[in-house]
Amino acid sequence: MKNPRFKRILLKVGGESMIGNREYGIDPQAALEVAQKIKSIHDKGVQIAVVIGGGNIFRGIAGSKNGIDRATADYMGMLATIMNGLALQDALEKVNVSTRLQSALDMPSVAETFIRRKAIRHMEKGHVVILSAGTGVPYVTTDTGASLHALELNCDVFMKATKVNGVYEKDPMKFPDAKRYQTLSLKDAISMDDVQVMDTSALAMSQENNLAVMIFKLFEGDNLEKAVDGENIGTYVSNDVTTKLV
């Protein structure tokens, strides 16, 4: 078995990965597929913290655009991530991966309260730590929350699993000839208006604290295993690379 390049990772998974063939909500089979991907790297000895979004249930920004107070909508989105966290915990334990679910909102009946040192200790013991409810405060995206948690937990890399295999010069869904960035400097990722990586706050935090970001497609072969091994998939975004198209 190949030794992984990254020993401790923060994996950000979109809530949409839990939908499966449904229009919204949680498909238990889809949750199991995500769990199997995580198990594949857990079995390699990688320490894993997972941040999962809530867009399959409720998206705070969308709620605020439809007339709900922004802070209230964001709290509703946090509750959606807790529901997804519970579903993912159940799926992981079905494939024999020990987990701990932590929440930035106090919900002692269903999850531990997030405590940095406790989360690190859980990972050291081989538990997958699922981090829900973002940062526990509104007006902060899950991307920014994930960057913050990656730094708090001393992760080697922030891995963002998406619908497309990396960052492209233009929308690959609309333009079949779009080229993928193999590497992208954090400086360029922030300054390029036509390149969508993640929100500017998350990128700025990563740049300031020298946190590398990998962006790749989760449901494509063994991409997650390749990502932790440091293979050339997706897009690697860092202060230590120059911007380069494939």
The whole-number pLDDT of residue 196 equals: 78
**Using an 8 Å Cβ cutoff, are 92 and 99 in contact?**
yes
13 — pLDDT class (breaks 50, 70, 90): very high
The whole-number pLDDT of residue 109 equals: 95
212: its two tokens: 């590398």
> What single string gives the DSSP state of each residue in the chain?
-PPPS-SEEEEEE-GGGGTTTSSSS--HHHHHHHHHHHHHHHTTT-EEEEEE--TTT--HHHHHHTTS-HHHHHHHHHHHHHHHHHHHHHHHHHTT--EEEEESS--TTTSEEP-HHHHHHHHHTTPEEEEESTTSSSS--HHHHHHHHHHHTT-SEEEEEESSSS-BSS-TTT-TTPPBEEEEEHHHHHH-TT--SS-HHHHHHHHHTT--EEEEESSSTTHHHHHHHT-S-SEEEETTS--EE-
15 — pLDDT class (breaks 50, 70, 90): very high
Q: 8-245 has which fold?
A: Carbamate kinase (3.40.1160)
7: its two tokens: 């020993």
172 — pLDDT class (breaks 50, 70, 90): confident
**Using an 8 Å Cβ cutoff, are 97 and 37 in contact?**
no
Q: Of 109-118, 172-181, 228-237, give the range with the top mean pLDDT.
A: 109-118
Report the chain's terminal Cα–Cα distance, integer Å.
Answer: 28
- pLDDT digits 0-9 by tens, 29-57: 999 999 999 999 999 999 999 999 999 99
The whole-number pLDDT of residue 129 equals: 98
Round to whole Å and give the CA distance between 35 and 26: 13
Round to whole Å and give the CA distance between 62 and 246: 34
The whole-number pLDDT of residue 63 equals: 66
pLDDT of residue 58 exceeding 90, the answer is no
How many residues can be counted in the chain? 246
Round to whole Å and give the CA distance between 203 and 229: 23
Q: Strand 112-113 vs strand 99-103: parallel, antiparallel, or unpaired?
A: parallel
